[in-house]
Structures are given as structure tokens and as C-alpha cells.
Amino acid sequence: MGHENFKQMRKAMVVSQLRTTEVSDPRVIAAMSHVAREDFVPAAQRNFAYADRGVQIGEGRAMNPPLTTGRLLNMAQVNKTDNVLLIGAATGYTAAVLAQLAGTVTAIEQNAKLAASATENLVDFDNVRVEAGNHADGWAALAPYSLIVIDGLAEQIPQGLTDQLTPDGRIVAVMMDDGVARLALGRTAGGHVGYQHFADGAGYPLPGFEKAKNFKF
């Protein structure tokens, strides 16, 4: 499939998925219109890059659907003063979108193969750095962050990660709420984070944010 075909698919994604579902920030729409999502998926999955579902990227991982990414970034109100921590760099797509919106982006990936892929895919993005490390640990060396983006489904978010936010920081993620995946925006206040679940959503589990299993005897 050629460049023009993917360009048309990208346009259709913006028109039919983003604009119809409360993704209203023109900067988010422009960024997602600009970044070639097909360049961040395996060759065998390129035809599905703009489908309204996740895309398998190997290593037991999948990219969130475009709509999930768009709605999270829309609620995050990303701006050029933001120092962003992205958890789950994967192949680098969301980092590339954030690069259009934020001042600096630090993208953490705990899978070595995916971290290498993200580093290669993001080599031309001057305001993005990819670091290999455990997702749940964040990257304290460059904290505090005004925004944390968890690019996947989180059953729980550890305090040690939200401690890396500025006093007025935000965090967005797909979170489990009574067994339902919901898009969430968190804001810091008084050293704690309060979460607002603003929509049901689809997301793929991100390693490092699983709840401990209860043993029954």
C-alpha cells in the first residue's frame, strides 16, 4: 500500500474516529494527522494501522486504538511548557505525537526489543529521549513532570510514580474501574492524586501495573 493510501486512511481516522468523539483540541488533531502511524507498526500490521482497534506490535504487546490515544491527549491539555513522562514507549508512536505537543518527552520502555525499536523510530525527534527501565518506576532522574501519560491499561498506579509529578501535575491512563476499562485524568492536590473517569475506553494491559493476585485457600 502506498503513501497516498495511508495518508487517506489517516485522514479518515481523524474524521470518523477523533472528530466524532469529543477530541476537540486542534493541536491533538493536527499532531495525529501529521504522524504516520503506519511507520510505527510491524510490516504485517500496516494495513490495520488506522483501524478502530489496537494493533499487535509483538512481544505480547499492542498499541492502543487511535481513539484512546486521542481522547487521553485531548483531556491532558498538553502544551509546549510540559515536561512529559510517557510510560510504555512501545514502538514510539505516542512519543512522536507528544513531540508535536510538548516541550520535552521522556519515554520509558521495559522491553528491550521495543525500547530499541522506539529509539530507532524516534531518532529524528530532538525533544524525545527513550530510556530503558521498569514502567512502574518511572524515571526519577528527570522529574518532576507536569504530565505523565501511561500508554496502556493500568490496574493500579503506584504512589512512587505519581510522586514524580509537579504539585499541579496531571496523569492520564486507561484504568480498571470495577472491572471496566475507563479513560481517566488525574490531578495532583495536596500530595495526592484524584482521578476523574471521563469515558469508557479500550486499552491493552501495560506490564508493571497489575494488581497483586489474592490467594484463596
- Any idea what the CATH number is for the domain that residue 78 is in? 3.40.50.150
Q: How many CB atoms are closer than 10 A to CB 79?
A: 12
What single-letter amino acid sits at 166? T
Q: Which of 54, 57, 42, 47 is nearest to 10 (CA)?
A: 47
CB 87 within 8 A of CB 150: yes
Question: What's the number of domains the chain is made of?
Answer: 1
Whether 216 shows a pLDDT value over 60: the answer reads no
* C-alpha cell, 92: 514510539
Is residue 213 a part of any domain in this protein? no
CB 182 within 8 A of CB 150: no
Is residue 110 a part of any domain in this protein? yes
Compute the average pLDDT of residues 140-150: 97
Q: What is the pLDDT of residue 2?
A: 62
| DSSP three-state, residue 51 | coil
Whether 199 shows a pLDDT value over 90: the answer reads no
Q: What is the pTM of this model?
A: 0.93
Least confident of 20-34, 108-122, 139-153, 198-212: 198-212
Q: Tally helices (H) and strands (E) across the chain.
A: 6, 9
Whether 4 shows a pLDDT value over 80: the answer reads no
Is residue 208 a part of any domain in this protein? no
Q: What is the pLDDT of residue 156?
A: 92
Q: What is the CA radius of gyration of the chain?
A: 16
Whether 177 shows a pLDDT value over 60: the answer reads yes
48-83 pLDDT per residue, tens? 999 988 899 999 999 999 999 999 999 999 999 999
Is residue 86 a part of any domain in this protein? yes
Whether 130 shows a pLDDT value over 80: the answer reads yes
Q: Give every CB contact of residue 5 below 8 A, 6+ residues apart in sequence.
A: none
Compute the average pLDDT of residues 98-107: 98
Is residue 216 a part of any domain in this protein? no
Q: Place 20 in a pLDDT band, splitting at 50, 70 and 90.
A: confident
Is residue 209 a part of any domain in this protein? no
| pLDDT above 70 coverage of the chain, percent | 95
CA distance linking residue 137 with residue 33, whole number of Å? 32
By residue range, what is the domain housing residue 115? 3-200
* C-alpha cell, 98: 507528544
Q: How many CB atoms are closer than 10 A to CB 126?
A: 9
Is residue 100 a part of any domain in this protein? yes
